[in-house]
Amino acid sequence: MKKLSYPIKFLLLVTVFSLLPVAVGVSPLDYKGSSLEAADEEKKKKKRRRTKLPSKKMQRILQNLVPLIEVEQWDEALLALEPVAAVDSKFTSTDRAKMFYYRGYIYFSQEKYDMAERAYKNLIAEPDSNDQERQGAIFSLSQLSYIAEEYQRAINYLLEWLEGEEEPSSDAYALIAQAYYQIEDYRKSVEAIDTSINIQESRDIPIKEPVLDEEGNETGEMIATGETVKGVAKENHYLLKMALYSELKMDLEVLPIYEILVQHYPKKRYWTNLSGLYGQRDRQMDQMAALEAAYDDRLLDKQREFTALSQLLFMFENPRKAARVIENGLNQGIVKQEEKTLKAAAQYWHAARELERAKPYYKKAAVKSKEGELYIFLGQVHFSLDEFNEAEEAIKEGIKKGKLKDEAAAYMLLGQINFENQRWEPAIEAFRKCIDVAEDQFDDKKEKQKEKKKRVQDQARKWVTYTEGEEERVEALKLKRKALGV
C-alpha cells in the first residue's frame, strides 16, 4: 500500500476502528445497522425460503438460552446448546441452524473468531436454515474476514449479503468502503461511503415534542408533531468521505459537511476547521461566529485561536468581548504574556473605554517592549484618568526608551500633562522641545510632512503663549486671594 500523509492515515484508522464495535457487538437478531432505508429502491424482492419453526424441544432450550446470553454467561449458554450437537440427537435441521446461529454469536462475543466462522459456515450449510439466519451469518462472516484482514473476502461476503437484502443498511456500505480502502480501491470505497451517507440522509425523522400536563409541566412522554427532518449520517462516515476525496484529489465541497458536523457532533476541530473555511471564503462574520461558538463551549486551547477570535471580535466592533477573550487566555496560561498579546489586551480594553483595566496591560507590555511607544499609550491612559504624575512619568519613560513613531507628539502630550498639573515651566519647556523635535522629525522636501511640521509647531507655539498667559493669570489670582485673606 502506498504511504499516506499522517492526518489522512490517522483519520482512516479512527474510522476503521469505529466500526469494530458494530462488528463485535452484533446481535444475533439485529445485524442490519442503523438504517432501514433502501439503497436501491428498484431492487426486486427475492423469493424467500419458507421459515420452519424449531421443534418443541428446541423451543424449550431457547427459552433457557436467551436469558443466559443477555447476562453474558457464555459457558452456560454453550452448555445449554450441547444436546442439539449430539450425533444421535433427534433435533431437526432447523434446530441445528438455530444452534449454529447462537454459537456463532457467542464465539464472536468471546472473540473466538475461528470458532465463530466455523459456526456460521455450518449454519449456511444447513438445508433448513431460514433467510434471516443465513443473511446474519453472511454479514458476520464479512466482519470476521475484516477483522482477519482478509479484505477481499470481506467484500465478497458483503456483496453476497447485499444481494439478499431488500433494504441494505448504511453500516454495511460503510464496511464495504473500509474494505475497499484497505485493498487500495479508493474509487469503489468512495462509491460505497457515498451510498452509506445517502441512505442515512434520505431518512425522514419524525419531530417529537414533550407532552404537557394541565399545569404546563412536561410529563416525560413525547408525541409526534407530524413533521419530519432529514436524517444525518454517522460522524465517522463523513470523516471517511473527506479523507477519501482528499486521497483521490477529487473536488469536494467540505464546508457543508463541517456545518453538519458542528451541529450534530460538535468538537473543537470541526469548529476551528469550519472557521478557517469561512475565512478562506472571506466570510469573516461567519468565521468569527464559528470560533466564538467553540470559545463559548470552552473548546479553544491554543494561543492562535484566542488571538484570532479576539482580533475578529475587535474587527467587528466588539472590543469588550475581544478583551475578555484575550484576558481569559492570559489568565489560563494558554496565551503567553508577550508584548504583542499584552498590547492587544490593553488596546481592546482601551477601545472599550475600560481604562483602569487597560493600564496594567500597557505597563507590562511597555516593560517588555524595546521601543517607547507603549509607554506613550500608558501615559495617555493616565492622562485621561487625571493621573498627571503617573502620566508624566510614563511619557518621560517612553521618550527615554526612544524609537517613537511621533516624538514631537510625545513632547506635546508631556507639555499638556504638565499644564494640567500647573507645572508651568516644565510645560513650556516640553512645548519648545516639541518645536525643536518637529524641525528634525519632518522632511521639508515632502509636502505633506512639511505641512504637518508647520501645523505641529504652530500648535506648540500657541500652547507656549497660552501657558505663559495662564501662569500669569493663576499667579495674579493667588495674589488677589492672598490680599483678600481668602
Residue 164 located in a structural domain = yes
Long-range contacts of 84-90 (CB under 8 A, 24+ apart): 84/58
Last residue of a domain, one of 243, 265, 300: 243
Distance CA 358, CA 226 (A): 55
Contact of 373 with 403, CB cutoff 8 Å: yes
CATH number assigned to the domain comprising residue 175: 1.25.40.10
- What residue type is 482 in one-letter code? K
* Separation between Cα atoms, residue 404 and residue 175, nearest integer Å: 65
Domain boundary among 243, 270, 289: 243
Distance spanning both ends of the chain, measured CA to CA = 99
State the amino acid at position 210 in one-letter form. P
Q: Are 417 and 392 in contact (CB under 8 A)?
A: yes
Domain that holds residue 439: 406-486
Cβ atoms 376, 404 nearer than 8 A: yes
Q: What is the pLDDT of residue 62?
A: 92
User: Is the residue at 401 inside a domain?
Assistant: no
Measuring CA to CA, which residue among 264, 286, 266 is closest to residue 276?
Answer: 286
Q: Going residue by residue through the chain (486 aa), what tens digit of pLDDT does each one get?
A: 444 444 444 444 344 434 433 333 333 333 344 333 444 444 444 555 667 899 999 999 999 999 999 999 999 999 999 999 887 778 999 999 999 999 999 999 999 999 999 999 999 999 999 999 999 999 999 999 999 999 999 999 999 998 888 888 888 899 899 899 989 999 999 999 999 999 999 998 898 888 888 888 888 888 888 898 899 999 999 999 999 988 888 888 899 999 999 999 999 999 999 999 999 999 999 999 999 999 999 999 999 999 999 999 999 999 999 999 999 999 999 999 999 999 999 999 999 999 999 999 999 999 999 999 999 999 999 999 999 999 999 999 999 999 999 999 999 999 999 999 999 999 999 999 999 999 999 888 889 999 999 999 999 999 999 999 998 898 888 888 877 776
For residues 446 and 450, give the distance between their C-alpha atoms in angstroms, rounded to a whole number: 6
pLDDT of residue 368: 95
The answer to whether residue 23 is domain-embedded is yes
Which three cell numbers, joined as nine digits, stand for 156? 465478497
Q: Within a domain: residue 215?
A: no
Q: Where are the alpha helices (DSSP H) in 148-234?
A: 151-163, 170-182, 186-201
| Helices 373-384, 407-420: inter-axial angle, 10-degree rounding | 30
* CB neighbour list of residue 442: distance below 8 Å, 6 or more residues apart: 408, 449, 450, 452, 453, 456
277 belongs to a structural domain: no
Instruction: Specify the pLDDT at position 47.
Output: 53
Tell me how far apart the alpha carbons of residues 392 and 423 are, in angstroms, rounded to a whole number: 11
CB within 8 A of 227, min separation 6: which ones? 206, 207
CA distance 146 to 182: 10
Asked if residue 346 belongs to a domain, the reply is: no
Out of 191, 221, 243, a domain closes at 243
- The count of structural domains within the chain is 2
- 140 is a domain residue: yes
CB distance 262 to 293 below 8 Å: yes
355 part of a folded domain = no
